[in-house]
Structure 1
Amino acid sequence: MNDLIIRNITQRKFRTGLTVFGIALGIFAVMVMGGMSEYFNRHSENTLNLVDKIQVVPETGYLGGSIDESTVRKVNRVPGVSDAYGLLWMPYDVEGIGLIGDYVVGIPIDKQETTLKDTKLKSGRLLLPSDTYRAVLGSNVEREFKIKVGDELTIKSKRFRGTSSITHERNFTVVGILEYTSSDYDNVIAIPLETAQKFYELENTVSYIWVVPEPSADGEDLAKRIELSVEKITALSPQKLREQVEKTLVIINLITLSSAILAAIIGGLSVMNTMLMSVSERTKDFGLMKAMGAEIWDILYLTMGESALMGVLGGIFGIIGGGIFIYYMNEYLSSMGMVLFAITPRLIIISLLFATLLGTLSGSIPAYRAMKMNPMEAMKYG
C-alpha cells in the first residue's frame, strides 16, 4: 500500500510539486514568524532572569524622562531595601528613536557584578575605579563593529544650546566583552556612571534605579511601599515587569498564530484541490479495488496517506527554506547589532507536525468521497 501511495504521487509530478510548494510556502511563513516569536520569548525570558530587581522609573514611564540622584538616597531609606543604585541608559545612535539598537549604560563601578548577575566575560575585564573613558561591550556590539579588547569605539552625545544642538564624540577603549546571553545585555556599551553623566551633560541624573530587596522582603509589597514613600516615580517588581512583558508576547504570539492560519488556508486548499482531482481521475480504479475485496479503510489509508505524505514533504521543504532565510537574515542583522529570529527544536517539530496534520486533514474530504463510492457505479465511470 505504501508503494502505491508513492507511485500515485510521483506519477503526477507537476501537480504534486505545486501542492507541495503551496504547503512549503505556508510552513515557511510559520518558520519565519515562529522564529521571531521564539526569539522574543527566549530573549524576554533571559532578560527577566537577569533583571531580577525592582525597577524604579520616572512616573511618566521608561521613555518619559529622568530621575535625580537624590531619589536614590530616598529609595535606599525605605525599609526592606538592601541596596539601590542608579543607571544612566542612553541610545548609542543619537539620531535614533531609542527603541531598538545599542545602548550606552552608565553603571556604578562597584555595582557591575550585581547588575550583570550571571553574565560572564568572553574576554578582557570589567571596569575598574581608575577607568574613565573605558567600556565593556555586549556580544552584539562586538559583532556589529567587529571590535576586540584594546580597540577604540567612538561614542557620540548630542548637546543642546538653546534651539541648536552640537554633537560631541569621544573614543572609548574597550577593556572587556561579555558572552552572548540572548538578552538586552548583548546590546549594552557599559561605561562608568560618572563618565556617562559628564559626557552627556546629565550630572546627578540617572534613567532608572535598580533596587535589591532584603532577603525577607516581598517584592510586590516593597514596590508599593517605595511608590508611597518617594514622589514622582513608578516602582515595578520583577513579577509586575514579567506581567507587562508577557502581555507584549501575547501580541507577538497572536501574529504567529495568524501566519499559521494563513498557512492552513493556502496549504489546505492546495492539498484538497489536488486530492479531489486525483480521486475523480481514479474513480474507476477505486471501484475496481473495492470490487476485488479492498476494505473502505484501505481506500481511506491510500487517499489520506497521499495527502499526509505531501504535507510531510511540504513541511520539510518549508522548514529548510525557513531555516536558510533565518540564518542569512540573522547574519545580515547581526552586522547592525540585532538578531530577530531563533530556530529551536520545538519550532521545527511543531512546523513538521503542523504540515503533516494539515495535509492529512485536507485530504479527509476527498478520502471520505473515495471511501463512500459504490463499486459498480465507480467501475462504469469514464
Structure 2
Amino acid sequence: MFDLIIKNITQRKLRTGLTVFGISLGIFAIIVMGGMSENFNLTFERSISLTADKIRVMPEGGFFGASLNESKAREVRRVPGVADAYGMLQAPLDPENLGFFGGDFVIGIPPEKQQMAMKDTELKGGRYLVPGDGFRAVLGSSVAREFNLNVGDEIEIKSKRALRATSITNRKNFTVVGIMEYTGSFFDNSVQIPLDRAQDFYKRGDTVSLIFAVPEANTDPEELTKRIGLNVERVTTFSPAEIRKQIEQSLIIFSLITISAAVLAAIIGGLSVMNTMLMAVSERTREFGLMKALGAETRDILFLTMGEAAFMGVLGGVIGIASGALFVNRMNEYLATRGTVLFAITPRLLVIAIVFATLLGILSGTYPAYRAAKMSPMEALRYE
C-alpha cells in the first residue's frame, strides 16, 4: 500500500509540489509565530521564578502611573511577617531607542540587596555591587553581548526629561564591575546600578518604582500580601501567585492572537490538499473502478486516498518545520547582536506542528477519499 501511495504522489510532481508547499507554508507560520509565543512563555516563567519568593508592592496608580517613596519600604518592613523589604527603580537604558518590546533597561537597586534579588543567578565575570559603589554597574548577559562589553569597560546610560517645549538628554558612563550568566529572563536585558545613583541620575529624589517584600520563613505569602495592603496606605500588593496568574492570562491572549494567524495559514494549505485530492479522485475514477472490480475493498480505496493526503501533510510538515527552524535560528542570531532573543523552538511546539500537519492532511483528504470509496465498479469503469 505504501509503495502505491508513493507512486501515485510522484506521478503528479508539480501538483504534489504545490500542495506540499501550501502545507509547509502554514507549518512555517506555526513554527515562527508559535516560537515567538513559546519564547514569551519561557521568558516570563524564568523571570517570575527568580522572584517567586517575593511580594510586589506597587504604587496605587499602577507601575507607570505613580511612584513610591522609600519610606514605604520601611513601613512594609515593619509589617509582621516581613523579613525584609527594599525598593527598586526601573528606567529605559536609552529612552531614544527602546528597541524590541521595550529594549534594555536600568535597575537601580540597593547594592547590599542585589545578591538577595539575584539569588538564583551566577556571575560570568567580575562581582556584584557592594555598598559604597559609585558609578558602577552589573550587566545582564544580553546587554554585555549587544554592546560587546567586558568587566572594566564602560557603558553609557541616558535619561531624558522634558523642559518647556524641548527635552534634555543626560548621559553618564558607568564602569562594568560584573556580568551575569544567561538566565533566559528579563534580567538578561538589565543594567543594575546602585539605587542612590539611579535616583540622582534620573532626578527621582528618594522614590522607587516598586518594592519587593520578602516573607519570613513559614509565612503564608497570600496572607502576608493582604496584611501589607491593610497596613500600608496607598499601595497595591501582588502575591507571587497573583502575579503569575495575571501574566498567564495575558500570555494566553497573546498566544491566541499569534497562533490564530498561523493556523489560518495552515488551513489554507489544507484546502489546497483537498483540492488536489478531489482532482486526483476525478482523474483516477476508472482506476478505482478497476481496483474494485479486481477485488479491492472500500476500505482499501479509503486508506489509499487518505494515505496520500496524510503523506503530503507529513512531508509539508517536515519541510515547514525545517524551514521555520532555520529562519528562527537566523533571526535569533541577528537579534542577539541587538541584545534580545525573540523565538524559542520547544519540543512541545515541534510535536504540535507535525501532528497538526498530519491531521490537516488526513482531514483534508477525508471527503475525497469517501467519494472515491463509494463509487460502484460499474459506474467507475463507464466514467470518461
CA RMSD of aligned residues (A): 1.5
Q: What is the Cα deviation at residue 296 of structure 1?
A: 1.4
Contact 1:30-1:351 at 8 Å conserved across structures: yes
Deviates further, 257-266 or 222-231: 257-266
Task: Say if 2:275 is the partner of 1:273.
Answer: yes
| Mapping of residues 119-130 of structure 1, within 5 Å | 119-130=121-132
Identity of aligned residues (%): 62
What are the superposed Cα offsets for residues 314-347 of structure 1, whole Å, 9 maximum, x if unpaired? 1011111111221122222222222211011111
> Quick one: distance in 2 between partners of 1:298 and 1:292?
12
Closer/same/farther in 2, CA of residues 197 and 78 from structure 1, 3 Å limit: same
Deviations 1:50-70 (A, max 9, x none): 122101111111111211111
AA paired with 1:3?
D
Matches within 5 A, 1:1-382: 1-52=1-52, 53-95=54-96, 100-159=102-161, 161=163, 164-382=166-384
Task: Give me the whole-angstrom Cα distance separating, in 1, the residues matched to 2:266 and 2:170.
Answer: 54
1:216 CA drift (Å): 2.4
Cα distance in 1 for partners of 2:129, 2:98 equals 28
Residue 30 of structure 1 aligns to a residue whose secondary structure is helix
SS in 2 for 1:293: coil
Q: Please, what TM-score do these two structures have when normalized by structure 1?
A: 0.96
| Structure 2 CA distance for aligned equivalents of residues 161 and 344 of structure 1 | 48
Cα distance in 1 between the residues matched to 2:335 and 2:258: 21
Rounded Cα–Cα distance in structure 2 between residues aligned with 1:149 and 1:6? 60
Once structures 1 and 2 are overlaid, which stretch shifts more, 328-337 or 143-152? 328-337
**Aligned length in residues:** 382
Which 5+ residue runs of structure 1 have no aligned equivalent? none
CA distance in 1 between partners of 2:19 and 2:67 (Å): 57
Partner secondary structure for residue 156 of structure 1: strand
Please report how far the alpha carbon of residue 253 of structure 1 lies from its aligned counterpart in structure 2 after TM superposition.
1.8
**Which shifted more, 339-348 or 97-106?**
97-106
C-alpha separation in 2, matches of 1:120 and 1:287 = 70
**SS, match of residue 336 in structure 1:** coil
The answer on whether the counterparts of 2:98 and 2:104 sit within 8 Å (CA) in structure 1 is no
CA contact (8 A) 1:159 1:201 kept: no
Query: Aligned letter for 1:231?
Result: E
Letter in structure 1 aligned against 2:366: S
Contact 2:30 2:263 in 1 (8 A): no
For residues 30-49 of structure 1, what are the alpha-carbon distances to aligned partners after superposition, in whole Å with 9 as ceiling and x for unaligned?
Answer: 11111011111111111111
- With 331-340 and 232-241 compared, the bigger mean Cα shift is at 331-340
Summarize deviations over 1:256-309 as a string: whole Å, max 9, x none.
Answer: 441343034212110000000001101101111111111212111111111011
After TM superposition, the structure 1 stretch with the greater mean CA deviation from structure 2, 16-25 or 156-165, is 156-165
The CA deviation at 1:116 is 0.7
- Equivalent-residue separation in structure 1 for 2:381 and 2:19 (angstroms): 28
Cα distance in 1, alignment partners of residues 131 and 79 from structure 2: 28
Q: How far did 1:164 drift?
A: 4.5
| More deviation, 128-137/6-15 | 128-137
Q: Whole-Å Cα distance in 1 between the matches of residues 19 and 241 of structure 2? A: 47
